[in-house]
Structure 1
Amino acid sequence: MATVWRSIGRRAARGALLGLVTLAVILSGCSSKPGLEWTRVTPGGDCQCADGSEFAFWEWRADPTRVVIFLNGGGVCWDAASCALTGDHGESDFYDWSIQGTEPENRSGMFDITRGDNPFSEYSFIYVSSCTGDAHLGNVTQDYSSSLAVEHRGYVNGTAALAYLAENYPDATEVIVVGKTAGSVAAPIYGGLVADLLPDATVTVFGAQSGAWPDDQRFNADILEGQWGAYSAMPDWAVAGLGVREWGVPRFWSQAARHEPRLVLARFDFAFDPQAASEVTRWIGAEDSDLLEIIDDNEAAIEASGATLHSYTAPGADHQIFEPSKFYDLEVNGVRLVDWLDTLVTGDPPADVHCDQCGP
């Protein structure tokens, strides 16, 4: 991996370039920069969604040297009720486990590439949908009943997208792994995998809204491995020195940092987001009022392991950050999230931001 160099000069140059582009648009009579348009990519092979249907991810090709890998969120499941597929099994209350209809139609928030204050406006995107109920971690067929077999193949699907990244963006110098809600659970693991595939690239991991996923030995053994087969699927470095009960979501960050110390690791959370970790916090008997304490304790444990974890904690019980306009509007302690992210990916990593009045 190349030495991480980030400079004011680089940011100034980018600003000057954007200014010239804007001037050219005005002079040409165009009203705005064209918006993002997705291309469907079907990797084939062993990839599939929970119901056995075809898996696909989505691509927007722009700058081939700067790429965002977006791991979308979605429900997770581990029993016949929560994993119920459409059709004869009835509609799951959590998720439709088929890829159908999941094209990322949004063009707002971080996907609005027409905005000059979007840190990712010039980046290429690889958008990895979630359709396996396993937070992009699984590699197993699970029989939940005599008539319900679920393909937890999130890790197979996700790593196929990473292989596509390596093949089609071999000259990438910057890769930003962005995880949304359950998609952010696996983000540090995927960051380490990207560093292995593209050793000359600077890799930044930004995981949003999984800070309250607990370190719980029973959850690690019974769900992460027992139902999803995640521990068995992982690369050796991700589980090195840890038994299945000791392995778990907060340690994903620690293991990634040990494997590749040059990773830039960062996370975002709303302090009392009741949806971000509803399934797993209920698993350990936590209440919504406990969420901020769990988030802060997890961050402290990760940093105690020697990892550097940059964080932005916003107040309230809000949900969703990447697609709404509040991606640009959110401000805590005088620091806009979008400016904090711009510094994260183009400058020296920023100071942590944490709400003072965090109440839901």
Structure 2
Amino acid sequence: MTRTPLILLAVLALVLAGCRSTNTASTALTGTHTAMEWTRVAAPQGDCHCADGSPFAFWERRADPTRVVFFLNGGGVCWSAATCAFTSTDSEGENDDYAWNLSSVDPGNRSGMFDTTHSGNPFADYSFLYVSSCTGDAHLGKSVQKYSPQLTVDHNGLANGTAAIDYLAAHYPDVKQVVVIGKTAGSVAAPLYGGLIADKLPKAQVVVFGAQSGAWPDNAKFNTDILGTTWGAYAAMPGWAIQGLTVDRWAVPTFWIQAGRHDPELVLARFDFAYDPHAYVEVTNWTHGDPTGLLALTDANEKAIEAAGITLHSYTAPGADHQIFEPDKFYSLAVNGVHLSDWLGKLVTDDPPADVHCTQCGP
């Protein structure tokens, strides 16, 4: 393939949601395809910042300008003085619950989906925008919370994420397909970001693939107290995202419904391990502490979404695993004879594939 020039202007003139962006780059080349070559797009000014006020940034891999993966990384979530504390347990900038700045985030050249030299990678030639959460709000928040006299947290995820969307629209004006991929907490926001991107780029096909949040429940207290009050997400959304829903009914599963109703051309899909222990940790307060109920919750959520008239393509794998995008099992994982990487390849290139669901799911 033709190598895209990788050294961008040191200072970009574009203003992104009040944020001025600058880029730094590194390069590598392996095999037939160009390996991941990340450019850091820093946004040190304006509305873009992390939970502790430190600068926000995202990363870019420039390849095919007509096909882009918009990757919403995880980063954890928080909603209390205990979970939102700026105290490190393993590395600077994050605790066991969430990352409050980006000091420990570096995409690097990874394996799994990020190994763009792998012959089975359906995204080998795609450009990438890699957006990490550093605000504890699943890329959705617009709220400043003083949890204690010593702890004030800026749940600023929506401004950060929409800055990356603005960058996508400005730098990929001829894009034909955007694949929004959300990982763990990033998958919570994935369908809403699909709708936001479709609004910005109406000529592009938008595919949404959210992984590992299928068990997040419709819980009126969580919807009101966390999504509504703590994170301020409900009030920050465009009208279509909350249309017809009071805050107590605005739940993570309904994000898929609202996005699908807003833009019926969106291709919507999800992935989950049946008994993902990390998914369990994030929803345990709202599922009465029963990890064996995760698969039932995931299946019930999908049923409710489809009962609302939305087509949600799905791939449910057995077991209590967690990571899927970075490890090599991105290629080796197969359920009922269907490899996940092949299933994704069909999702973005052909008519969407049939759902895949484990028969022996094993807790």
- TM-score higher than 0.5 here? yes
- Give me the TM-score of the superposition, normalised by structure 1: 0.89
Report what 1:67 is aligned to. 68
How far apart are the structure 2 equivalents of 1:335 and 1:310?
A: 14
8 A contact 2:219–2:286 mirrored in 1: no
2:153 is paired with a residue whose SS is strand
Report what 1:329 is aligned to. 332
Corresponding position: 1:214 with 2:217? yes
Corresponding position: 1:36 with 2:36? yes
8 A contact 1:210–1:277 mirrored in 2: no
Larger fraction in helix: 1
**Deviation at 1:281?**
3.0
Deviation per CA, 1:298-318, whole angstroms, max 9, x where unpaired?
A: 000000000000000000000
**Aligned-CA RMSD value:** 1.6
Report what 2:356 is aligned to. 353
How far apart are the structure 1 equivalents of 2:257 and 2:238?
A: 14
Unpaired runs of 5+ in structure 2? Answer: 3-29
Corresponding position: 1:160 with 2:163? yes
2:247 is paired with a residue whose SS is coil
Q: Residue 154 of structure 1 aligns to which amino acid in structure 2?
A: G
Corresponding position: 1:174 with 2:183? no
How far apart are the structure 2 equivalents of 1:79 and 1:330?
A: 36
- Give me the TM-score of the superposition, normalised by structure 2: 0.89
How far apart are the structure 1 equivalents of 2:300 and 2:289?
A: 14
Matched residues, number: 331
8 A contact 2:71–2:180 mirrored in 1: yes
How far apart are the structure 2 equivalents of 1:254 and 1:267?
A: 13
How far apart are the structure 2 equivalents of 1:123 and 1:106?
A: 15
How far apart are the structure 1 equivalents of 2:309 and 2:38?
A: 39
Report what 1:188 is aligned to. 191
Change in CA separation of 1:91 and 1:60 when aligned onto 2, cut-off 3 Å = closer
How far apart are the structure 2 equivalents of 1:35 and 1:158?
A: 25
Work out which of the residue numbers 148, 151, 154 in structure 2 matches 1:148: 151
Report what 2:24 is aligned to. none
How far apart are the structure 1 equivalents of 2:106 and 2:211?
A: 21
How far apart are the structure 2 equivalents of 1:164 and 1:121?
A: 21
How far apart are the structure 2 equivalents of 1:292 and 1:33?
A: 38
Deviation per CA, 1:250-290, whole angstroms, max 9, x where unpaired?
A: 00000000000000000000000010242223233141100
> Structure 2 matches for 1:18-29, cutoff 5 A?
none
Q: Residue 275 of structure 2 aligns to which amino acid in structure 1?
A: F
Change in CA separation of 1:263 and 1:91 when aligned onto 2, cut-off 3 Å = closer
1:269 is paired with a residue whose SS is strand
Report what 1:45 is aligned to. 46
Superposed structure 1 runs of 4+ greater than 2 Å apart: 30-34, 90-93, 279-284
8 A contact 2:306–2:312 mirrored in 1: yes
Report what 2:240 is aligned to. 237
Q: Residue 223 of structure 1 aligns to which amino acid in structure 2?
A: I
Change in CA separation of 1:108 and 1:179 when aligned onto 2, cut-off 3 Å = same
Report what 1:342 is aligned to. 345
Q: Residue 38 of structure 1 aligns to which amino acid in structure 2?
A: W
1:186 is paired with a residue whose SS is helix
Work out which of the residue numbers 276, 283, 286 in structure 2 matches 1:280: 283
**Higher relative contact order by CA 8 Å / sep ≥ 6: 1 or 2?**
1
Report what 2:7 is aligned to. none
8 A contact 1:106–1:323 mirrored in 2: no
**Deviation at 1:31?**
5.1
How far apart are the structure 2 equivalents of 1:31 and 1:246?
A: 50
Larger fraction in strand: 2
Corresponding position: 1:124 with 2:127? yes
Deviation per CA, 1:138-169, whole angstroms, max 9, x where unpaired?
A: 01111000110001001110010000000000
Report what 1:3 is aligned to. none
Work out which of the residue numbers 104, 108, 111 in structure 2 matches 1:108: 111
Q: Residue 57 of structure 1 aligns to which amino acid in structure 2?
A: F
Q: Residue 272 of structure 1 aligns to which amino acid in structure 2?
A: Y
Q: Residue 356 of structure 1 aligns to which amino acid in structure 2?
A: T
Unpaired runs of 5+ in structure 1? Answer: 1-16, 19-29
8 A contact 1:189–1:238 mirrored in 2: yes
How far apart are the structure 2 equivalents of 1:196 and 1:189?
A: 11
